[in-house]
Amino acid sequence: MPMSSIETLRREYPGEPAWAHFAAVFSADAMNGPQGGTQSLLPDDPGLAETLIGMFGQDGAAGWLNRPIDVLDGQSPAHILSTHPVGCRIVRHALMRTPV
């Protein structure tokens, strides 16, 4: 039986160094200025919030977090973050696979 997309993302997570390299592209410094709203978007993970804002803009980041995503088996990233033991890794990996 094939693995779910979520299980694939969990198992194939490329690690923290790969995430740090990816996220650095979308940091406030790389985007030429501060990105407000990281605390309200994801207070427990400002680095992930900053990456989302860099990728999608403030409004787009909040929308992306709360809508069903195909690669997350139709679940929202917010749901994965709040219910899965390694939800942060799963969401990070999904972002690293998202075309920008």
The tokens describing 82, both together, are 């709040």
Give residue-wise pLDDT tens across range 22-58. 999 988 654 555 555 556 788 888 889 889 988 998 8
Binning pLDDT at 50, 70 and 90, where does residue 2 land? confident
Q: What are the residue ranges spanned by the domains of the chain?
A: 45-100
pTM: 0.86
Structure tokens at 1: 């039986």
| Sign of CA pseudo-dihedral 9, 12, 17, 23 | negative
- HEC sequence for 48-86: HHHHHHHHHHHHHHHHHHHCCEHHHCCECHHHHHHHCCC
